[in-house]
């Protein structure tokens, strides 16, 4: 992603999530979203998320402070990664996102949509 | 809880620039260097981490009637802009002759005039002015979001060894003996070892033997990070547990803890039953002075290296592999018993620089490496344990030597710690030359980042 795209995505996230905070972390831009709403029926219903905007990556990446239990009561396979000196959880789901065509909110919503489906 | 003063940490490459510049004599004025710093708060202690060193140009100074150095208002503005652009703190460093140094009235006055202004513009970061002597440091530190400066701080340099000022208080004779013979059992050496906290990730064949070695040497605190229980297949990997431990499937943590309490009751052992990179592991790694990693996969190594680098913590990576011939029917012959001890000093060459870690290798490693040393890949593939305890022991002993070198600095200056390769057939450890790669993506951006500065 270009630096211009990263700046644009950051602005979009800040506009949609007013409590968002950002930090530059070794060339990457981190956007922390203290409260994102998970799909209806997930437990808990909301939680913290981190969006990583890396100039060396083709699209954003999103991590959760805790991946919720799915509406069905099942769970997705969760991995743990270290970002910015903190542990974050991730789950595998390929979001078809294209730079210049899609925006940051579409990415976040598409990623979270995985949690609507059965395990 | 014991008060821990803020600590300034300087990576190897930054220190070499600073030392080189401050050691170059000048007739015009005192030598001064500036550094841009990040910061982190770990268990209540503020770390000030040097990210970049700025050697001021001669044109940045004005003439003074004293021996000190004075730089122009224009240069101050340039420094301030650099701090604001990167959201950094400012560290001013200069040197005085002699072993016990103090800030002069001129140093104090200029720090009080300049640094509060930097703090007003960049209040989330620490700003400091430090004078270094041969074996002491003095200075003033303005901590983030605090208006008063503090004079109580530690100054840690990571180079051929890890030296931290102020040195432990000992009588002159003991200090002099330590300076000449760092391996001698002196009060200074004992205090340095007791003050050091070491995290050991993985307490199997290698880690368990390193833990017992370090306890015997008198290190004050060990943190063991391991979530597995013993099973009979661990029997041949170390001498750290007994048949009852194996039969009862005891936790590796509790087995090692018991061994350590027998070896050295004064060594505090904290067990963390979690994996890399779970939060408890990250917190334990951050709080340590040295990390020793005995893990069996590259992803975990990359995660540990990232934390070590981010908070300027030396990291010793240990690994052992038994290789069998690729082109032979199973069971194939053993063609190599190889291992390594890689000591990463932040600011020096890393596991990415030498190609031990690559993106491709990490991507190829799915689901973690197999834990068994020997694996028959034939039709009726089966795992076989191998007699690896003595090979693990050689590597564990070398890792303990590297820890000792980091803390006591017993080897002559310029000795390389970095990469030792082990050949179990010939019984040799060979030092490999590794250089810091200027284009290493990890080294270029990852050293001394500290905590993210949110806004």
Is B173 domain-assigned? no
State whether residue B63 sits within 8 Å of chain A by CB. no
User: Both B185 and B292 in a single domain?
Assistant: yes
Q: Given this model, what pLDDT does residue B301 score?
A: 96
Q: Does the pLDDT of residue B379 top 70, yes or no?
A: no
User: Both B68 and B190 in a single domain?
Assistant: no
Please provide the size of chain A in residues. 119
Q: Which of B9-18, B90-99, B344-353, B413-422 has the lowest mean pLDDT?
A: B413-422
CB contact under 8 A, A21 and B307: no
Q: Does the pLDDT of residue B368 top 60, yes or no?
A: no
Rounded Cα distance between B441 and B134, Å, is: 35
Q: Does the pLDDT of residue A64 top 60, yes or no?
A: yes
Q: Given this model, what pLDDT does residue B372 score?
A: 58
B425-443 mean pLDDT: 92
Q: Given this model, what pLDDT does residue B99 score?
A: 82
State whether residue B366 sits within 8 Å of chain A by CB. no
Residue B164 — pLDDT band, cuts 50, 70, 90? very high
User: Both B22 and B76 in a single domain?
Assistant: yes
Is B288 domain-assigned? yes
Residue B61 — pLDDT band, cuts 50, 70, 90? confident
User: Both B286 and B335 in a single domain?
Assistant: yes
Over the stretch B272-314, which tens digit does the pLDDT of each residue have? 999 999 999 999 999 999 999 999 999 999 999 999 999 999 9
H or E element in which residue B447 lies: none
Q: Given this model, what pLDDT does residue B384 score?
A: 76
A21, A56, A86 member nearest B455 (Cβ): A21
User: Both B204 and B321 in a single domain?
Assistant: yes
- Residues A71, A41: contact at Cβ < 8 Å? yes
Q: Which residues form the domain of B373?
A: 180-446
User: Both B214 and B359 in a single domain?
Assistant: yes
User: Both B121 and B88 in a single domain?
Assistant: yes
Q: Does the pLDDT of residue B416 top 80, yes or no?
A: no
Average pLDDT score over chain B: 92
CA-based nearest residue to B224, from B265, B246, B254, B245: B254
Rounded Cα distance between B188 and B184, Å, is: 10
A20 neighbourhood in chain B, CB within 8 Å: none
State whether residue B454 sits within 8 Å of chain A by CB. yes
User: Both B61 and B124 in a single domain?
Assistant: yes
State whether residue A22 sits within 8 Å of chain B by CB. yes
Is B454 domain-assigned? no
Under DSSP, is residue A78 helix (H, G, I), strand (E, B) or coil?
strand
Rounded Cα distance between B417 and B258, Å, is: 31
How buried is B203 (Cβ within 10 angstroms: 0-12 exposed, 13-18 middle, 19+ buried)?
buried
Q: Given this model, what pLDDT does residue B418 score?
A: 86
How far is the alpha carbon of A64 from chain B, nearest alpha carbon, in Å? 13
> What CATH number did the domain enclosing B38 receive?
3.40.140
Who has greater pLDDT, B416 or A94? A94
CB contact under 8 A, A27 and B451: no
> What CATH number did the domain enclosing B267 receive?
3.40.50.720
State whether residue B350 sits within 8 Å of chain A by CB. no
Is B172 domain-assigned? no
Over the stretch B2-56, which tens digit does the pLDDT of each residue have? 678 999 999 999 999 999 999 988 777 789 999 999 999 999 999 999 999 999 9
The complex scores an ipTM of 0.94
A26 neighbourhood in chain B, CB within 8 Å: 445-446, 449
Over the stretch B171-186, which tens digit does the pLDDT of each residue have? 989 999 998 999 999 9
CB contact under 8 A, B278 and A80: yes
Is B19 domain-assigned? yes
Q: What is the signed CA dihedral for B241, B246, B249, B252, rounded to 10 degrees?
A: 20
Q: Does the pLDDT of residue B377 top 60, yes or no?
A: no
Beta strands in B107-230 (DSSP E): 127-132, 137-142, 149-150, 154-158, 162-165, 197-201, 221-225
User: Both B436 and B302 in a single domain?
Assistant: yes
Where is the domain boundary, B126, B158, B190? B158
User: Which conformational region is residue A77 in: left (phi greater than 0), alpha (psi within -120 to 50 degrees), or beta?
Assistant: beta
Residue B353 — pLDDT band, cuts 50, 70, 90? very high
Rounded Cα distance between B286 and B307, Å, is: 7
A22, A23, A87 member nearest B278 (Cβ): A87
Rounded Cα distance between B340 and A63, Å, is: 34
User: Which conformational region is residue A84 in: left (phi greater than 0), alpha (psi within -120 to 50 degrees), or beta?
Assistant: left
State whether residue A80 sits within 8 Å of chain B by CB. yes
CB contact under 8 A, A85 and B310: yes
Q: Does the pLDDT of residue B105 top 80, yes or no?
A: yes
CA-based nearest residue to B400, from B202, B215, B163: B215
How buried is B309 (Cβ within 10 angstroms: 0-12 exposed, 13-18 middle, 19+ buried)?
buried
Who has greater pLDDT, B70 or B347? B347
Interface of B with A in 1-60 (CB under 8 A): 40
Residue A117 — pLDDT band, cuts 50, 70, 90? confident
Q: Does the pLDDT of residue A33 top 80, yes or no?
A: yes
Q: Given this model, what pLDDT does residue B331 score?
A: 83
Q: Quote the percentage of chain B above a pLDDT of 90.
A: 78
User: Both B284 and B397 in a single domain?
Assistant: yes
CB contact under 8 A, B282 and A26: no
How many distinct structural domains can be found in chain B?
A: 2
User: Both B152 and B188 in a single domain?
Assistant: no
Backbone dihedral angles phi then psi of residue B409, each to the nearest 5 degrees: 65, 50
Q: Quote the percentage of chain B above a pLDDT of 70.
A: 95
Over the stretch A43-59, which tens digit does the pLDDT of each residue have? 999 999 999 999 999 99
Interface of B with A in 157-176 (CB under 8 A): none
A76-96 mean pLDDT: 93
A22, A27, A85 member nearest B451 (Cβ): A85
B220-232 mean pLDDT: 96
CB contact under 8 A, A24 and B87: yes
A22, A27, A80 member nearest B454 (Cβ): A22
* For testing contact with chain B, the best of A26, A53, A81 (most B CBs within 10 A): A26
CB contact under 8 A, B445 and A26: yes
Is B57 domain-assigned? yes
Q: Does the pLDDT of residue B155 top 60, yes or no?
A: yes
How many Cβ atoms are within 10 Å of B170's Cβ, its own excluded? 18
Q: Does the pLDDT of residue A119 top 80, yes or no?
A: no
């Amino acid at each position: 992603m270009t630096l211009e795209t990263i700046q644009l995505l950051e602005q979009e996230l800040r506009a949609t999530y007013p409590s968002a905070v950002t930090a530059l972390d070794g060339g990457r831009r981190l956007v922390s979203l203290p409260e994102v709403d998970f799909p209806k029926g997930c437990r808990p219903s909301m939680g913290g998320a981190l969006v990583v905007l890396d100039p060396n990556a083709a699209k954003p990446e999103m991590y959760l402070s805790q991946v919720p239990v799915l509406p069905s009561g099942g769970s997705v396979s969760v991995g743990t990664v270290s970002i910015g000196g903190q542990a974050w959880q991730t789950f595998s789901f390929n979001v078809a996102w294209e730079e210049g065509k899609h925006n940051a909110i579409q990415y976040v919503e598409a990623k979270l949509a995985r949690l609507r489906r059965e395990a | 809880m014991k008060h821990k003063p803020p600590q300034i940490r300087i990576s190897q490459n930054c220190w070499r620039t600073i030392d080189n510049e401050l050691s170059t004599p000048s007739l015009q004025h005192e030598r001064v260097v500036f550094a841009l710093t990040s910061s982190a708060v770990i268990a209540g202690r503020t770390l000030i981490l040097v990210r970049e060193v700025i050697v001021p140009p001669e044109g940045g100074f004005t003439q003074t009637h004293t021996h000190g150095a004075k730089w122009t208002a224009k240069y101050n503005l340039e420094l301030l802009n650099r701090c604001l652009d990167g959201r950094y703190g400012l560290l001013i460093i200069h040197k005085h002759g002699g072993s016990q140094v103090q800030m002069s009235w001129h140093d104090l006055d200029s720090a009080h005039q300049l640094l509060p202004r930097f703090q007003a513009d960049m209040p989330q970061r620490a700003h400091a002015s430090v004078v270094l002597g041969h074996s002491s440091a003095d200075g003033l530190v303005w901590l983030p979001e605090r208006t008063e400066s503090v004079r109580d701080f530690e100054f840690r340099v990571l180079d051929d060894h890890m030296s931290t000022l102020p040195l432990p208080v000992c009588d002159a004779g003991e200090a002099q003996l330590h300076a000449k013979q760092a391996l001698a059992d002196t009060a200074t050496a004992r205090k340095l070892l007791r003050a050091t906290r070491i995290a050991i990730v993985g307490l199997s064949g290698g880690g368990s033997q390193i833990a017992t070695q370090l306890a015997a040497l008198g290190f004050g605190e060990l943190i063991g990070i391991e979530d597995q229980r013993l099973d009979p297949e661990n029997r041949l990997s170390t001498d750290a547990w007994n048949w009852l431990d194996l039969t009862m499937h005891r936790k590796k943590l509790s087995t090692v803890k018991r061994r350590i309490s027998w070896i050295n009751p004064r060594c505090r052992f904290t067990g963390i039953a979690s994996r890399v990179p779970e939060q408890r592991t990250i917190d334990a790694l951050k709080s340590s002075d040295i990390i020793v990693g005995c893990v069996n996969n590259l992803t975990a190594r990359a995660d540990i290296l990232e934390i070590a680098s981010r908070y300027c913590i030396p990291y010793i990576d240990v690994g052992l592999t038994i290789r069998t011939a690729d082109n032979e029917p199973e069971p194939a012959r053993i063609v190599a018993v190889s291992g390594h001890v890689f000591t990463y000093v932040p600011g020096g060459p890393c596991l990415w620089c030498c190609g031990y870690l690559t993106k491709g290798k990490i991507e190829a490693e799915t689901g973690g490496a197999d834990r068994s040393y020997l694996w028959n890949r034939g039709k009726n593939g089966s795992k076989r344990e191998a007699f690896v305890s003595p090979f693990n022991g050689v590597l564990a002993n070398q890792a303990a030597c590297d820890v000792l070198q980091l803390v006591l600095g017993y080897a002559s200056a310029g000795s390389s710690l970095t990469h030792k390769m082990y050949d179990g057939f010939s019984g040799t450890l060979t030092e490999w030359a590794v250089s810091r790669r200027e284009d290493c993506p990890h080294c270029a951006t990852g050293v001394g980042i500290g905590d993210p500065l949110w806004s």
